[in-house]
């Protein structure tokens, strides 16, 4: 049965189509770092947009876009480059750091004041036919919405379109990806994303089409982008791990739990069978021993009874001769002693009820009692290693984590975890980035889990407001862990049903 469950889990993994791996929040999370790049002109008094494209963050203050998006600004010193995020109050100016016209890539640096969530680059190629998503600001959508030129300098959510990867090929001596995710003028410089929201390429241009021709589009491959960034002094975030869905991981965990339960039931049944056999064997042994002792006791009683009768008869015979009176008395005393011994042997023989008592005592003895599970201590210093097979990793991650656990929810002697529904956890909502992290530790399984929610700025503001309503206690502050767990549950209610990342660590005691 256990092997069958594991086989079913493996088949489910193989049968899940690639497009099912995408999590709904992944593209939204990546879109947080997508911006509109606007070329701004001036008449000496007022500023006005001249053209625009798309860009995305590769660090909190660095933006990638196409070289042709900023070409006018490079040729005309009166033009400025503005960056408009998809949320917030407004944008910021940017300057060109590096341009590669041959690769059609440009790196911009933001003026102080605006920080963005950097996107992660995909470090592994996808097969032809894989689902891809384009994110950007197509002009035809602006026109359809009736947006004026001044409207485009206001924060607007980017447009997302879905398609499929056709092939990887070289265009104009540049490694590009051919795909079918619709883009238009204005999308230039925006990211082409995989199902986990990682950058596969930088959308650059489309194939000319007329009549009924199919439309295909080209993105500068991340191999070109990564080399360009490193040459510009920027080390990009790269993730080459397979894109896996949480639904897939949950299914595998459910199969793993079912297999564990099946093994536990099988072990319990085996122990029950062993215990029954031990009881039967102990009863048989006890029955044989008791019956043998009863037979021995009765045989001894019979022998003593016969001896008593013989001695008594001899004493009666001898008593007729007065000269032998003392011998008669001795023989009579021996007959009495033998009679008492016979009675004692008969009365002290084990009864049939002794069989059950001895069988029960034998099955409770240390030799036949089942081994008791050793309880692992909860506290101590732990080293936890990332289990990639049980994790969904879309960004940077630590291969190992070390911390101390005191068994009462205290980590490293200072960070108190809350307790809710039997789970120890701590929620973090930092001001420095739009990420909510929930760390969970299971002392019984020695498992540490980190779940990250990559939220939009408005959602993050709501979470921070809820988090500000309580003060997390330090270790040994006297507040019950359940109180912190309850307050954290109020914040967790604001989060999406699924995180964007799940990092699973297996821990061992030092």
Question: pLDDT of 180-221, one tens digit each?
Answer: 999 999 999 999 999 889 999 999 998 765 555 558 899 999
Clarify whether residues 359 and 404 are in a common domain. no
Tell me, what CATH number does 193's domain have?
Answer: 2.40.10.120
Note whether 308 and 351 are same-domain residues. yes
| Last residue of one domain, picked from the residues 312, 331, 363 | 363
Regarding whether 233 and 135 lie in a shared domain, the answer is yes
Q: Distance of alpha carbon 198 from its chain centroid, rounded?
A: 20
pLDDT digits (tens, 9 = 90+) for 423-443: 999 999 998 888 999 999 999
Nearest residue to 183 via CA among 147, 224, 146, 133: 133
CA gap 134, 67 in Å, rounded: 18
- Residue 365's pLDDT is 55
DSSP class per residue in 460-504: HHHHHHHHTTS-PPBTTSS--HHHHHHHHHHHHTTS-SS-SEEEE
- In this prediction, residue 373 carries a pLDDT of 47
Q: Is residue 123 part of a domain?
A: yes
Asked if residue 399 and residue 505 are part of one domain, the reply reads yes
Interior angle at CA 369, CA 366 and CA 374, nearest 5: 95
Residue range 82-121, pLDDT digits in tens: 999 988 667 899 999 999 999 999 999 999 888 899 999 9
**Average pLDDT, whole number, for the chain?**
86
Do 172 and 47 lie in one domain? The reply is yes
To which H or E segment does residue 293 belong?
Answer: helix 246-318
Question: In whole angstroms, what is the distance from residue 393 CA to residue 244 CA?
Answer: 8
Q: Is residue 256 part of a domain?
A: no
Together in a domain, 62 and 197: yes
CA distances from 419 to 374, 410, 478 (A): 25, 11, 14
Q: Is residue 30 part of a domain?
A: yes
Q: Which residue has the higher pLDDT, 232 or 209?
A: 232
Give residue 438's Cα distance to chain centre. Answer: 11
Asked if residue 266 is part of any domain, the answer here is: no
Q: What is the DSSP string of 191-253?
A: EEE-TTS-EEEEEEEE----TTPPP-EEEEEHHHHHHHHHHTT----EE-S----HHHHHHHH
The catalytic position among 104, 142, 194, 434 is: 104
Average of per-residue pLDDT across 321-334: 83
* Residue 464 is assigned to a structural domain of this protein: yes
Phi-psi region of 204 (alpha: psi -120 to 50; beta: other; left: phi over 0): alpha
Tell whether the model's pLDDT for residue 169 goes beyond 90: no
Query: Is 184 inside a domain boundary?
Result: yes
Listed in sequence order, the residues at least 6 apart from 180 whose beta carbon sits closer than 8 Å to its beta carbon are 163, 164, 166, 214, 215, 216, 217
Question: How many DSSP H helices and E strands does the chain contain?
Answer: 10, 23
Residue pLDDT, tens place only, 357-416: 888 888 775 544 444 444 555 678 999 999 998 999 888 888 999 999 998 999 999 999
The band of 179, judged by pLDDT with boundaries at 50, 70 and 90, is very high
Task: Assess whether 342 and 384 both reside in one domain.
Answer: no
- Close Cβ partners of 421 (under 8 Å, ≥ 6 residues apart): 485
Quick one: pLDDT band at residue 505, thresholds 50, 70, 90? very high
Whether residues 401 and 356 fall in one domain: no
pTM of the complete model: 0.71
Q: Look at residue 420 and tell me whether its pLDDT is greater than 90.
A: yes
- Give the CA angle between residues 60, 66, 71 to the nearest 5°: 110
Q: Is the pLDDT of residue 76 over 60?
A: yes
As for how many domains the chain has, the answer is 3
- Would residue 482 count as lying in a domain? yes
What is the Cα–Cα distance from 100 to 84, expressed in whole angstroms? 23
User: What is the structure's pLDDT at 1?
Assistant: 45
Q: Is 204 among the residues known to form the active site?
A: no
Would residue 87 show up in a list of annotated catalytic residues for this protein?
no
* Separation between Cα atoms, residue 419 and residue 411, nearest integer Å: 13
Q: Where are the beta strands (DSSP E) in 16-118?
A: 34-42, 47-59, 62-65, 80-84, 92-100, 105-110
119 plus 32 within the same structural domain: yes
Q: Which of 298, 329, 363 is the last residue of a domain?
A: 363
For the chain, the distance separating the N- and C-terminal CA atoms, rounded to the nearest angstrom, is: 36
Q: Is residue 486 part of a domain?
A: yes
Reduced to 3 states (helix: H, G, I; strand: E, B; else coil), residue 332 is: helix
Query: Which secondary-structure segment (H or E) carries 311?
Result: helix 246-318
Full domain range(s) for residue 394? 380-509
Band of residue 352 on the pLDDT scale cut at 50, 70, 90 = confident
Domain boundary pick from 220, 244, 268: 244
Q: Which of 59, 161, 188, 425 is catalytic?
A: 188
Task: Give phi and psi for 95, each to the nearest 5.
Answer: -120, 155
CA 423 from chain centre, in angstroms, equals 14
Whether 288 and 432 share a structural domain:
no
Concerning whether 18 is annotated as a catalytic residue, the answer is no
**Are 38 and 166 in the same domain?**
yes
- One domain for residues 408 and 297: no
H or E segment to which residue 459 belongs: helix 457-467
CB neighbour list of residue 320: distance below 8 Å, 6 or more residues apart: none
- The first and second tokens of residue 506, run together, are 């297996």
Return the structure tokens found at 182.
């619709």
Largest Cα–Cα separation, the chain = 161
């Amino acid at each position: 049965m256990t092997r069958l469950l594991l086989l079913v889990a493996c088949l489910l993994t193989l049968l899940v189509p690639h497009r099912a791996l995408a999590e709904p929040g992944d593209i939204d999370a990546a879109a947080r770092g997508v911006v509109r790049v606007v070329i701004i002109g001036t008449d000496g008094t007022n500023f006005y947009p001249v053209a625009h494209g798309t860009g995305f963050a590769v660090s909190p203050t660095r933006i990638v876009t196409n070289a042709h998006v900023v070409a006018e600004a490079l040729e005309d010193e009166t033009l400025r480059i503005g960056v408009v995020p998809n949320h917030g109050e407004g944008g910021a100016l940017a300057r060109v750091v590096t341009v590669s016209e041959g690769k059609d890539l440009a790196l911009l640096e933001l003026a102080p004041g605006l920080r963005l969530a950097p996107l992660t680059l995909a470090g592994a190629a996808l097969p032809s036919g894989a689902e891809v998503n384009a994110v950007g600001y197509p002009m035809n959508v602006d026109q359809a919405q009736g947006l004026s030129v001044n409207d485009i300098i206001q924060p607007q959510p980017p447009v997302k379109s879905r398609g499929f990867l056709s092939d990887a090929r070289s265009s104009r001596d540049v490694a590009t990806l051919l795909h079918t995710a619709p883009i238009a003028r204005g999308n230039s410089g925006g990211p082409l994303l995989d199902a986990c929201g990682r950058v596969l390429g930088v959308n650059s241009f489309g194939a000319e089409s007329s009549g009924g021709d199919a439309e295909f589009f080209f993105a500068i491959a991340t191999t070109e982008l990564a080399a360009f960034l490193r040459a510009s002094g920027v080390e990009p975030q790269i993730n080459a791990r397979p894109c896996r869905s949480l639904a897939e991981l949950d299914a595998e965990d459910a199969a793993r739990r079912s297999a564990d339960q099946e093994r536990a039931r099988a072990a319990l049944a085996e122990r029950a069978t062993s215990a029954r056999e031990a009881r039967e064997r102990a009863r048989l042994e006890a029955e044989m021993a008791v019956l043998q002792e009863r037979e021995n006791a009765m045989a001894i009683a019979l022998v003593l009874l016969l001896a008593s009768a013989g001695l008594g008869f001899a004493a009666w015979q001898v008593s007729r001769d007065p000269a032998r009176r003392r011998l008669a008395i001795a023989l009579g005393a021996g007959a009495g002693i033998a009679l008492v011994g016979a009675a004692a042997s008969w009365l002290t023989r084990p009864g049939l009820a002794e069989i059950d008592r001895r069988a029960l005592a034998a099955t409770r003895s240390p030799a036949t009692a089942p081994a008791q599970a050793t309880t692992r201590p909860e506290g101590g210093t732990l080293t936890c290693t990332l289990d990639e097979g049980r994790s969904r990793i879309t960004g940077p991650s630590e291969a190992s984590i070390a911390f101390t656990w005191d068994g009462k929810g205290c980590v490293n002697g200072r960070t108190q975890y809350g307790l809710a529904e039997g789970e120890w956890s701590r929620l973090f909502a930092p001001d420095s980035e739009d990420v909510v992290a929930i760390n969970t530790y299971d002392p019984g399984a020695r498992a540490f889990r980190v779940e990250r929610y990559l939220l939009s700025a408005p959602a993050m503001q709501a979470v921070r407001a809820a988090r500000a309503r309580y003060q997390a206690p330090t270790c040994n502050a006297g507040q019950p862990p359940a109180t912190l767990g309850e307050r954290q549950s109020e914040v967790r209610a604001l989060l999406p049903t699924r995180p964007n990342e799940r990092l699973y660590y297996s821990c061992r005691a030092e």
